Amino acid sequence: MISKADYWLQKGLARRDCGRVGRAVYNFTEAIKVDRRCWMAYLLRAVCLLRQKHYSRAKTDLETFLQAHPTNFVALYNLALALCALGDNDAGLQRLNRAVECCTQSERSKHPYLFQARAMLLRRKV
């Protein structure tokens, strides 16, 4: 039997995969209401919020997630996107650098966007 939080997570993932991002945000919020330590719900809700351009809310969720999982490069990358969208390119670059540090060598080859985003931010600084 799955927990109530897992039920809402699965529902949110299904909605997200169908493109119903707003409903997915609702479902991930329900998972968090059931279990405040349902860390994956924070990350998944943040990614949906980024797609909806709710950068400040996404930033808050990502920071919450990173308190429990400080080396998760996916969360660090998405936090960098939120920070840059909010106009804080320096903090975004710091998070991207941290994301790269947290990647294993095999993960780096699977996620070239980390390096592309970092290069783009570095070019902006020059």
The model carries a pTM of 0.89
Q: Are 94 and 73 a contacting pair, CB within 8 Å?
A: no
Q: What is the pLDDT of residues 20-61, one digit of tens each?
A: 999 999 999 999 999 999 999 999 999 999 999 999 999 999
Q: Would you list the domain boundaries of the chain?
A: 1-54, 70-126
Q: Which of 15, 13, 8 is nearest to 29 (CA)?
A: 8
Query: Residues with Cβ < 8 Å from 29, sequence gap 6 or more?
Result: 41, 45
Is residue 7 over pLDDT 60? yes
Architecture of domain 1-54: Alpha Horseshoe (1.25)
